[in-house]
Amino acid sequence: MFADELKTLRRLGVRHVLLQILNFVSVLASGLMIWKGLGLITNTESPIVVVLSGSMEPAFYRGDLLFLTNPPNQRYQTGDITVYKIPGADIPIVHRVLETHDLVNKDKDLVAASPLAQKQLLLTKGDNNHIDDIELYQGLEWLERKHIVGKVRGFLPYVGYVTIAMNDFPQLKYALLGGLGLLALVQRE
């Protein structure tokens, strides 16, 4: 089955194989660069996330793709859909802001350099949940800016389901990676 491919590999020689590996690595590297570049522009550690639970149905279902930004000069408002990560929890949560409280400086002599120099307390809730998220905060009373990964600005349905499928069936992941790798190696041009 692979005899033909092996024959062509032998004919093309080591240089060609190395070149293909280099190509493959450069594709990976540019992917990483695009990801990190997007992260810089949008000011979030993960500009694209996949919805993993049904707590925002019927707006977002499992497998939908969300695009985030986290502008450093904007406060969060009620109605914003935020993605937050509680320290100690490994899965980020996508929920809507229910309450915001912008605190004031106790020290009267200090003037805030920007509206964001002041602390903002947030409470969130999933559209599909009956109660707010205090139980999810693992002992915290409020969310703060430092917990927020970003807010949802764009939406693309279903596409993220590939990653969920790959998590549920790891064989699929290896098959896909192996297939792509083999393809990259034996491609002619």
Partner 1 sequence: MGSTCLMVLLGAIALSSFLFTADPKGTIGVSSIQVFPGNARRYANKNQDFTFVNFNLTADLAPLFNWNTKQLFLYVSAEYENKQGVRNEVVIWDRIVRRKEDAQLNIAGRNKYVFRDLSASFKDAPPAHYSLKYNVMPYVGVLTYGEAARTTDAVPFPERQDLS
Is 101 part of the annotated catalytic residue set?
Answer: no
Among residues 16, 64, 101, 133, which one is catalytic? 133
d(C-alpha 94, C-alpha 149), whole Å: 10
| C-beta separation of 68 from 46 below 8 A | yes
| 59, 116, 166, 186: which one binds partner 1 (CB under 8 A) | 59
Is 95 part of the annotated catalytic residue set?
Answer: yes
Cβ-Cβ contacts under 8 Å for 85 (sequence gap 6 or more) = 92, 93, 147, 149
- What tokens were used for 51? 């919805």
Nearer to partner 1, 130 or 188 (CB): 130
Among residues 16, 80, 95, 114, which one is catalytic? 95
Question: Within 89-108, which residues bind partner 1 (CB under 8 A)?
Answer: 96, 98-104
Q: What values do phi and psi take at 172, rounded to 5?
A: -60, -40
For residue 152, state whether it binds partner 1 (rule: CB under 8 A). yes
Which positions are annotated as active-site residues? 55, 95, 133
What does the binding site for partner 1 look like in residue numbers (CB under 8 A)? 58-59, 77-79, 81, 96, 98-104, 121, 125, 127, 132, 134, 141, 152-157
